Amino acid sequence: MRQRRSVGLRVWLVVATILTPLVWVGGAQAGQLQVALVRLDRMAKSTNTGGTVCFKPASAGSTSSVVIKFPTSFTLATGTGNFVANTTADPDSVGSGNLYWPSGASALTNVQNGDGDNSAKTATFAVSPAMTLTVGTLYCFNFNLTDSSVLVTGSTVSGSLGGNVATNLDSANIAFAVVDTGQDQINVSAVVPPIFQFDLGGTTDPVPHTGNLDYTAVNESQGISVTVHTNAKQGWVAWAKSANQGLQSTSIGGSTGLIGSVGWNAAAPTHLQPNVSSKYGLAVTIAASGTSTCTMGVAPEYNTASVDGSPLGTDRYSGAATANFQQIGQCAGGTSNGDALLLKERVAITSVTPAATDYTDTLTVVGAGYF
Amino acid sequence: MGNIKMLGALFLAVAMVVGPVTPIWTGVAEAAKATATPLTRPTAPLRLTTSPLPIVLNTKPGQSASTDIKIKQSGGDTEQLQVSLMKFSATGETGQPKLSDRGPGDDYFDWVTFDRPTFTAPNDVWQTVKMTVNVPKSAAFSYYYAVVFSRVGDTIKVGNGQSGIAGGTAVLVMMSVDSPGASRSLQLATFSVAHRVMEFLPTDFTVRLKNNGNVFVRPGGNIFISQGNKQVGLVTVNSELGMVLSGSTRAFSAEWNYGFPYFNDVKIDGKNKIDKKGNPVRVLNWGLPEPDKTSAISSGEDDFIAKQSRNPLTNFRFGEYTAHLLITYPDNFGHDVPMESTLTFWVIPWRMLLVVLAILLVVGFGLYSSARRAMGWTKVVRKFGKRR
């Protein structure tokens, strides 16, 4: 009898020894979510927040609810359906590769708006109809995408506050953190300074741009552009002055070696007459009109576009090349994004203009914004 | 004799000390000069960017004022840049500067120093130049400097029938010196509207302010537009934060366009299309203007528009309107000095009214004709009835 008991006890012990670990393992796989997280939109204390819930089930089967338990220091609005759920994985609409949800996450598509319960500190989201969850798949949904007062973080800073995520099959404890006011956001500030960019298209400008001066026609350079970019709200202005007030030949020297500038003619350029008189001057036109709010204009003394013959022949005009800065153009009343003037030198000579290879002038162009 | 020997020995000693120094000093000066003035003319395109603009300085007699000016050259090569000084004044009434060289008696140019009158500027690297104005005790009121940055060597002559082109960018610096007798004073010269009677908005206001003080002033304000007792519009004056220089007059333009319908400027690539007479080309827009949400500066005008009804019919403009200008400027103590003026104007959409009138006339004539015809038939029926 005693031997029978002993055998029975041994068998029971063997069976118990074999089964005990299996029962423990099975219990662990059924109850503990593989992954569980609640990412709050705001972590600062006493702040309205929404969040994102993600979990990876460990147990196969269907679930009809997901319950989030928040820390006791949090304040929830008690109500039916007041935790507004959605399954938008890309609220910024940035397309594939967006990082709003963890990589590979699937939407918990049947999740419904949750019911808040402040006494239990829970938000219960029904999953209707119930979904059969796949073990190892990460499921996510958002709540309160537009932060509202249905969930308010605790008023005390803490690095670890207990919480829980539970489905019908599994659950897992999670940790929340609350930081001090302003510690969960980065205030980005920047200053756009007022700037003025001045571009001169070249540094030399032969007249004419190929060959020698011709006494039967008005000679013209290819031109140098003056381009401005500025965020000054009132616009800009450009001036030019001439070092020699004409084309000066050093080898001839003196007034004999000077093809002098046309005289100052207020409000209109001067007619150049080939083989009548030797004269030099500046012609200014609008080279480019950028995507700007300012209005381009050429000073009337240099605005040859309005008086030049069409087609261009010998009938050409120019403004005076002066020793002091004279306004050649402007872009008024707004910002400027690539507005440009084109500055050309024009020369008329006669058949008796002294020959030399070193006629030259230096023009200085300066730009500035309005005050 | 002994004294002469001693003097000779002293001279020799001084010569031995000074002698070696002098060539070293000369060498430094020449080296600096050689660096500042390249023998060859730069060939790369000139691209200069400066910031900020314009600069406002305020100081007292006997004190100094300074400012940092940032400059960058982006021509492609490392360049030598130089700073020079000019002055500016107002030309016209639009805030346009006029540059001038130093004139006789402009001793205030001598007060200015730059920590780096010439400097090496690598491509695309911001450089900072410090401008300091050491103001003497005799200084007073306003000074207008133009700090011109240019490239060293650009003025070297070119030959063979070419014109050399040199360029520069000017940063305007306005300095006020708070001395006894300084006066910040503006006078409202005129407040006008482009047309007293118009068919549709916009209406263009002009505010001309004369600075009859001796210090530059920045005014700011609004035009409040009302019909009867109801405010219907708000326009900002001098949203560009422009200055009125001492002794000059400046005109500020302001446009009120919040109405239905309204004429708006035709834009091509973001710019106003201009007709042959230089005026902006406008087309009738059957909608309401949008507030400028892109503006960096919060405008009371845009805030006002944002609060208005977007219903076109409630913004239909018809009748007499009153524009009340309230503009202020800071006096010597920083207190706002207000200036006010009022004008009236009419919006009469006469072509729409003519169309409506024509429709009413046609409808009225139709009704009248129908009534007459009906009366004619009544008479016929009565006559017929009597005969029977």
Report whether B315 contacts B258 (CB < 8 A).
yes
For residue B84, what pLDDT is reported?
Answer: 96
| Cβ contact, residue pair B70, A193, below 8 Å | yes
CA dist., res. B58 & res. B64, Å (int)? 9
The amino acid at residue A254 is G
Between A323 and A6, the more confident residue is: A323
A43 within 8 A of A177, measured Cβ to Cβ: yes
Give the confidence band of A366 by pLDDT, cuts at 50, 70, 90.
very high
Tokens of A112: 């419904």
CA distance A307 to A297: 15
Tell me which H or E stretch contains B377. helix B350-387
Task: Tell me the chain B residues in contact with residue A204 when contact means C-beta distances shorter than 8 Å.
Answer: 41, 43, 158, 162-165
Residue A86 has pLDDT above 80, yes or no: yes
Distance from CA of B76 to the nearest CA of A (A): 12
**Beta carbons of A205 and B101 less than 8 Å apart:** no
CB A174 within 8 A of CB A85: no
- Per residue in A218-261, pLDDT (tens digit) is 999 999 999 999 998 899 999 999 999 999 999 999 999 999 99
B18 vs B13, B23, B32, CA distance in Å?
9, 9, 21
* CA distance linking residue B6 with residue A356, whole number of Å: 65
Contact at CB, A371 and B274, closer than 8 angstroms:
no
Using alpha carbons, select from A360, A236, A338, A356 the residue that is nearest to residue A292: A338
Q: Is B169 close to A368, i.e. CB distance below 8 A?
A: yes
The pairing of strands A85-86 and A61-69 is unpaired
- Name the one residue in this structure whose structure tokens are 């100052």: A264
Model confidence band, residue B31 (pLDDT cutoffs 50, 70, 90): very low
Whether the pLDDT of residue B19 is over 70: the answer is no
The whole-number average pLDDT for the span B335-346 is: 97
In Å, how far is A275's CA from the nearest CA of chain B? Answer: 18
Residue A296 contacts residue A305 (beta carbons within 8 Å): no
For residue A339, the chain B residue with the least C-alpha distance is: B271
Give the residue with greater pLDDT, B142 vs A289.
Answer: B142
Per-residue model confidence as pLDDT tens digits over A110-149: 999 999 999 999 999 999 999 999 999 999 999 986 767 8
Q: Is the pLDDT of residue B274 over 70?
A: yes
Which residue in A192, A200, A231, A331 has the most chain B C-beta atoms within 10 A of its own C-beta, making it the best mutation to test that interface?
Answer: A200
pLDDT tens digits for range A260-309: 999 999 989 999 999 999 999 999 999 987 777 898 999 999 999 888 87
Q: Which of B78, B49, B81, B46 is nearest to A201 (CA)?
A: B46
Confidence of residue B2 (pLDDT cuts 50, 70, 90): very low
Answer whether B101's CB lies under 8 Å from B170's CB: no
Between positions 86 and 145 of B, the ones with CB within 8 A of A are 88, 90-91, 94-101
Indicate which of A196, A215, A363 best probes the interface with B, i.e. most B CBs within 10 Å of its own CB: A196
Q: Cβ(B71)–Cβ(B115) under 8 Å?
A: no
Query: What pLDDT, in 10s, does the model give residues A333-361?
Result: 889 999 999 999 999 999 999 999 999 99
Helix or strand run (H / E) with residue A228? strand A224-230
Distance CA A170, CA A63 (A): 9
Residues of A in contact with B295 (CB under 8 A): none
Alpha-carbon span A262 to A282, nearest angstrom:
9
Nearest residue to A339 via CA among A302, A282, A283, A298: A298
pLDDT-derived band of residue B215, with 50, 70 and 90 as boundaries?
Answer: very high
- Using an 8 Å Cβ cutoff, are B242 and B174 in contact? no
Cα separation, A107 vs A131, in Å, equals: 11
Nearest to B166 among A330, A333, A364 (CB): A364
Taking an 8 Å cut-off on Cβ atoms, the answer to whether A194 and B53 are in contact is yes
pLDDT-derived band of residue A9, with 50, 70 and 90 as boundaries? Answer: low
Q: What pLDDT score does B332 carry? A: 87
- Mean pLDDT on B123-135: 97
B101 confidence band (pLDDT: 50, 70, 90): very high
Tokens 């060539």 locate to B23
| B162, B172, B274: residue with CB nearest A295 | B274
Contact B51, A196 (CB under 8 A): yes
- Residue B39 is predicted with a pLDDT of 67
Choice among A1-10, A49-58, A122-131, B306-315 with the minimum mean pLDDT: A1-10
Whether residues A293 and B274 touch (CB distance < 8 A) is answered with no
Structure tokens at A107: 């939407």
Q: Biggest alpha carbon distance in chain B?
A: 169
Q: Cα A327 to the chain's mean position, in Å?
A: 37
Residue A27 pLDDT level (bands cut at 50, 70, 90): very low
A357 to A216, A259, A321: CA distances (angstroms): 18, 13, 21
Q: What is the pLDDT at residue B37?
A: 52
pLDDT at B244 over 90: yes
Using a CB-CB distance cutoff of 8 angstroms, which residues of chain A are in contact with residue B95?
Answer: 234, 370-371
Closest Cβ–Cβ partner in A205, A337, A366 for B148: A366
- CA-to-CA dists, residue B234 to A160, A162, B55, B323, angstroms: 54, 56, 30, 9
Cβ–Cβ of A196/B169 closer than 8 Å? yes
Strand order in the sheet with B197-198: B197-198, B336-347, B319-330, B220-227, B230-237
- Residue B22 clears pLDDT 50, i.e. is over it: no
Specify the pTM.
0.76
User: Of chain B residues 35-94, which have a CB less than 8 A from chain A?
Assistant: 41-54, 70, 88, 90-91, 94
Task: Measure B308 CA to nearest chain A CA, in Å.
Answer: 26
Residue A205 · residue A224 · CB < 8 Å? yes
- Chain A residue closest in CA terms to B278: A297
What gap in Å lies between CA A144 and CA A149, rounded to an integer? 9
Verify cis geometry, omega within 30 degrees of 0, for the bond prior to B52: yes
What is the spatial distance between Cα B375 and Cα B263, in angstroms, rounded to a whole number? 48
| C-alpha to C-alpha distances, B164 to A86, A304, B387, nearest whole angstrom | 69, 21, 110
The minimum CA-CA distance between B24 and chain A, rounded to whole Å, is: 36
Closest listed residue to residue A371, CA positions, set B175, B254, B101: B175
Which stretches does DSSP call E strand in A231-278? 235-242, 246-249, 258-260, 270-272
The HSE-up count of residue B72 (CA atoms within 13 Å, CB side) is 12
Q: Does B372 touch chain A (CB under 8 A)?
A: no
Distances (CA, A) of B151 to A178, A365, B48, B72, B383: 58, 12, 9, 12, 106
Q: Give the pLDDT confidence score for residue A315 in this predicted structure.
A: 81
Token reading at A194: 């007022």
* Contact indicator for B222, B237 with CB cutoff of 8 Å: yes
Residue A25 has pLDDT above 50, yes or no: no
| Chain A interface includes B212 (CB < 8 A) | no
| Chain A nearest CA to B54, separation (Å) | 6
How far is it between the farthest Cα atoms of chain A?
149
Yes or no, beta carbons of A330 and B96 under 8 Å apart: yes
Which tokens sit at B19? Answer: 């002698």
Q: How are beta strands A51-56 and A139-143 bridged, if at all?
A: antiparallel
The whole-angstrom distance between B117's CA and the closest CA on chain A is 18
Which pLDDT score is estimated for B156?
Answer: 87
**What is the CA angle A282-A284-A288, rounded to 5?**
150
Which pLDDT value is given to residue B79? Answer: 93
With 0-12 / 13-18 / 19 or more C-beta atoms within 10 angstroms meaning exposed / middle / buried, residue B136 is middle
Please state the ipTM of this predicted complex: 0.77
> Do B161 and A198 count as a contact with CB atoms less than 8 A apart?
no
Q: Cis check for the bond before B117: say yes or no (omega within 30 of 0).
A: no
- Lowest-confidence region among A160-164, B201-205, B379-383: B379-383
The CA distance from B123 to B72, in Å, is 8
